[in-house]
Structure 1
Amino acid sequence: MSSTTLPAHEGSPAPVSSDQSDLAELGYEQQLHRSLGKFASFAAGFSFVSILTTIFQLFALGFSFGGPAFFFTWPLVFLGQFMVALNFAELAARYPISGAIYQWSRRMGGEIVGWFAGWFMIIAQVVTASAAAIALQVVLPSIWSGFQIVGDDPALTSPSGATNAVILGSVLLVATTTINSIGVNWMSRINSIGVTCEIVGVIALVAVFFTHAQRGPQVVLDTGAAGAEPGYIWAWIVSGLMAAYVMVGFGSAGELAEETHNPRRVAPRTIRLALSASALGGGLMIVGALMAAPSLTDGNLATLGLPYVIDSILTSPWGTVLLIDVAIAVFICTLAIQTAASRLMFSMARDGRLPASQVLSKINSKTGTPIAPSVLIGLACVAVLVVNLGNAALFTTLTSVCIVLIYLAYMMVTVPLLFQRLKGWPHGGVQVDAEGKKLFTLGWLGIPVNVAAVLYGGLMVVNLSWPRAEIFDPTGDYPVLLWAAPLTVLAVIVVGIACFPRGKTHPRPATAHPHAPSSRQESTNA
């Protein structure tokens, strides 16, 4: 068995013996330091989802609407997102480039579609990183009162709590920006250690819940007292927003493709594994919490969520240890989101598609990282955090809307990909990776899986955007916030039109018929 190199679709034959020459076939030179292995790639996606952070924050949201039976929205959202992840995995095998969503969508749908997919993701990631950073306020003052620097009320909705949240979040963002600037190796080490701590924490938490169970797993069949009007199904659909908020960001392994060894093989696997592991661990956490909660009817689960269950069954110091683990998860979640956003911004700037592209596309020769995008994103995140000072409800609404932008960006990949599949994508024979192994492919399942991903994405965009007072205007003081999702998307599009590089030819135009950029095929010599 030997490897034969055929002409690449964007140029002349090129050697494919290394990841660096592999990247050259796509029209890019190796600038980022390629040093990440399998676990580091997995950690990038797992820490972005960060179930210990997000379920800790959002459990009460799901329970308050759907009661214990809100659990069933979790596997449903997972199945939908897994359809998306399978499509992403196939694209990651063929286009292992930083700025994954932007690069995939422009190759499938053209430059305009690609640019807006990248634009949507940058905005969403900035807001998501801010939402992750602000979670420190929920955790740190519970560990030690000294973390409440301003005032004595740690509640996010109080003036002192909101101010303190901005201070803690800003300190965290300074730390993550510094780590992202000093090199991917440091980022990888810290992220991998953090993910290991988070996995251990999830396992320990699940074990504690199950060993302190007060009821059986059949509790998930209980619809609770929610949804009397206009009916339980409507309330259950709303409760699904919790899972929809959590299970995003699993494609971060694709963002780090240019820093990963053999990304054609590693990234597709870690995209699927990050989502699957998060879904399994999160599902067990939800069931365990419902089984171990002292009461399902006293209102505490709907208002306090997981902290209520933890506080009731764990005494110091174990409760404190667990909270420290949650704080670590918040840290690495923020770090992972900022890393992904900086690579996306770098990828677009390298193609000259953003304002100040010359600055944003520079790679520090010593650290091998794009410092300017990391700093800019850190500053933007702090600016978003400040919104919480004036209006906590507006900040909550903004973080809810940013998830809509992520789902829209995902659809700007899956919809044009479906059209390309109907035209015969992926073209060519059997593609192989740097080790001569076949690339991940859906084969004949490609079209049905892609159709399922598109339908799921469309339904979720509608569900996430629906003008619900309970989500967007819980106090009833700002009726206009009911339409926050469509208004925000419209505003992002308008600003995007103003920033779009009109009249500039893309330096590396996507081909009319996208297919695997590496035309390596298996051949045998007698």
Structure 2
Amino acid sequence: MSDISTAEQEYLHHPDHDAHHLSTLGYASEFKREMSPWANFSLGFTYLSPVVGVYTVFAFALATGGPPMIWSFLLVGAGQFLVALVFSEVVAQYPVAGGVYPWARRLWGRKYAWMTGWVYLVALLVTIASVVYGAGPYMATAFGFESTTNTTIACALVLLALATIINFLGTRVLAMAAMIGFTAEILGALFVGIWLLVFHREHNLGVIFDSFGAGGNSNYLWAFAAAALIGIYQYYGFEACGDVAEEVPDPGRLIPKAMRRTIYIGGAAATFVCLALVLSVGDIPAVIAGTDTDPVGNVLLQAFGTTGSRVILMIVLLSFLSCAMSLQAAASRLAYSYGRDDMIVGAGLLRKFSPARAVPPYALLVAAIVPAVIVLGSKFSTDAITKIVSFAALGIYIGFQMVVLAALRARLKGWVPSGKYRLGKWGLPVNIAALAYGVIAIVNMAWPRTPDAPWYDNWIVALSAFVVIAVGLVYMAVHRTAGRSTAPYDDAIPKPASAPAAESVPSA
């Protein structure tokens, strides 16, 4: 670490360090800094949600790649850890609400930031819908009623309404709910995992090296790459710690720690849950052959019985609720940051703030209404909602890598991170490695794997990304809000003495 800078000395001697730092970045925050370090970590953890991620994708991953798919958790975890290190440097210097959008704005510029935030916001809203919709069958089983399209929609809307209410109650309640969700999920995951390993284990550890013929006669690498989506879908959520940067005291120091802690603990928990399930599935070849399509449900039923499995499913539902709540918090802060910078239609409403609850109410409504509309759309076409949701994880990864690319460009143009967390000489190689990993992950997610399906279904993930980006470009061409915003931008890269820095007028 280098010697303390003049800016840091000024920051430390100011009576309200956080407000002063934010003021130097051009903003005056209305949020209350009521989120503790562990609550901030819990928000990222519940967004990442090991239980939701593993339970949702386990059947597909095991059927596609067999038990060795579990190694993807280590590979993806290492790659996303590099991304988290890049984000840590950026958020330490720019602890502004909204996450990837304000980071891209300071590292590159307004239009690039607009597209980064647009892709990420759409992905977040779609992910909220997919999480609450995915909870439907679990809720039906837990409460003992038939899982139909109508009941799934009803359950999803109830879960979405609960998440919205929690978010409307303010930062303190959100923080408390996130910590309760984290505690319940981690204890539940540990209890279920240990119970399965002690009383219901069907295999020894050697099974994680046996593919059981997954992938057929083709190169197993392709089957593993497809199954690795379980890891790829798992390791995001750490950026949510930075989305609420204006609600955390000393964010430049605490948020980077929370991000890395999310990777450590969340990744370890997800790997443990997956391992316990793999070792407890009695007939793995049946899963690979497609005759056992619900290995998670069957394992829980066999291990805990009808009543016990329902209790476990209640904990799973709490994990789904916590995940939706954290996603909604992230999406609302992003929408609010767009409105505050006057970067999108409806900015006047999106930037409105409730002093009583210290939340942006209209931004929260967007994070509730749009997912609700997507869920209701499944009433008319389950296939359509599947296509819409297919964009979710890819969009989040694209948003991530747009920030990583912006950081690399800024670094090459002279940006030297000046926040409380710095990688020093490791900054450039870590940044390059993070970008390389991200590109590989994006290609893996978009790669077509259903050659027998119509071309538009085979390429649906890549096509959905193309549509979202194309709509964003059309919007930017027609509605030039992005180019008019006077909020601070493009100030990470040192400017020549003759070139004035971008305008930096504090905004309400």
Q: TM-score, normalised by structure 1?
A: 0.88
Residue of structure 2 in register with 1:206 after alignment: 193
Task: Tell me by how many angstroms 1:12 deviates.
Answer: 12
Would you say the 8 A contact 1:5–1:15 is kept in 2?
Answer: no
Inter-partner Cα distance in structure 1 for 2:191 and 2:493: 46
Would you say the 8 A contact 1:101–1:409 is kept in 2?
Answer: yes
Inter-partner Cα distance in structure 1 for 2:143 and 2:319: 17
Would you say the 8 A contact 2:123–2:395 is kept in 1?
Answer: yes
Inter-partner Cα distance in structure 1 for 2:134 and 2:391: 17
3-state SS of the aligned residue for 1:389?
coil
Would you say the 8 A contact 2:93–2:417 is kept in 1?
Answer: no
1:296-351 Cα deviation digits (max 9, x unpaired) = 22337962132222112112433222111001000110010011000000011100
3-state SS of the aligned residue for 1:315?
helix
CA separation of 1:362/1:164 partners in 2, compared to 1, >3 Å: closer, same or farther? same
Task: Tell me by how many angstroms 1:133 deviates.
Answer: 0.4
Residue of structure 1 in register with 2:448 after alignment: 467
Matches within 5 A, 1:118-197: 118-145=117-144, 148=145, 152=146, 154=147, 161-197=148-184
Matches within 5 A, 1:80-479: 80-145=79-144, 148=145, 152=146, 154=147, 161-211=148-198, 212-299=200-287, 303-426=293-416, 439-469=420-450, 476=453, 478-479=454-455
Residue of structure 2 in register with 1:488 after alignment: 464
- Further displaced range: 490-499 or 369-378: 490-499
Task: Tell me by how many angstroms 1:490 deviates.
Answer: 2.3
Residue of structure 2 in register with 1:524 after alignment: none
Inter-partner Cα distance in structure 2 for 1:260 and 1:289: 36
Inter-partner Cα distance in structure 2 for 1:485 and 1:298: 28
Residue of structure 1 in register with 2:498 after alignment: none
Would you say the 8 A contact 1:56–1:305 is kept in 2?
Answer: no
How many pairs were matched up? 486
Inter-partner Cα distance in structure 2 for 1:38 and 1:351: 27
Residue of structure 2 in register with 1:521 after alignment: none
Task: Tell me by how many angstroms 1:14 deviates.
Answer: 9.7
Would you say the 8 A contact 1:68–1:222 is kept in 2?
Answer: yes
Inter-partner Cα distance in structure 2 for 1:23 and 1:427: 16
Structure 1 residue ranges, 4+ long, deviating more than 4 angstroms after superposition: 11-14
Residue of structure 1 in register with 2:484 after alignment: 505
Task: Tell me by how many angstroms 1:506 deviates.
Answer: 2.3
Would you say the 8 A contact 1:106–1:113 is kept in 2?
Answer: yes
Would you say the 8 A contact 1:64–1:301 is kept in 2?
Answer: no
CA separation of 1:14/1:97 partners in 2, compared to 1, >3 Å: closer, same or farther? farther
CA separation of 1:231/1:397 partners in 2, compared to 1, >3 Å: closer, same or farther? farther
Task: Tell me by how many angstroms 1:377 deviates.
Answer: 1.7
Q: Percent identity?
A: 26
Inter-partner Cα distance in structure 1 for 2:384 and 2:263: 29
Q: Which amino acid aligns with 1:285?
A: V
Q: TM-score, normalised by structure 2?
A: 0.91
Task: Tell me by how many angstroms 1:16 deviates.
Answer: 6.5
Would you say the 8 A contact 2:126–2:371 is kept in 1?
Answer: yes
Would you say the 8 A contact 1:93–1:268 is kept in 2?
Answer: yes
3-state SS of the aligned residue for 1:314?
helix
Inter-partner Cα distance in structure 2 for 1:302 and 1:119: 39
3-state SS of the aligned residue for 2:488?
coil
Could you tell me which runs of 5 or more consecutive residues in structure 1 were left unpaired when the two chains were aligned. 155-160, 432-438, 518-526
Task: Tell me by how many angstroms 1:4 deviates.
Answer: 8.2
Inter-partner Cα distance in structure 2 for 1:407 and 1:343: 19
Would you say the 8 A contact 2:100–2:400 is kept in 1?
Answer: yes
Task: Tell me by how many angstroms 1:395 deviates.
Answer: 2.2
1:32-54 Cα deviation digits (max 9, x unpaired) = 12110011100110011111112
Q: CA RMSD in A?
A: 2.4
CA separation of 1:512/1:35 partners in 2, compared to 1, >3 Å: closer, same or farther? closer
Inter-partner Cα distance in structure 1 for 2:323 and 2:196: 24
Q: Which amino acid aligns with 2:110?
A: E
Inter-partner Cα distance in structure 2 for 1:291 and 1:512: 52
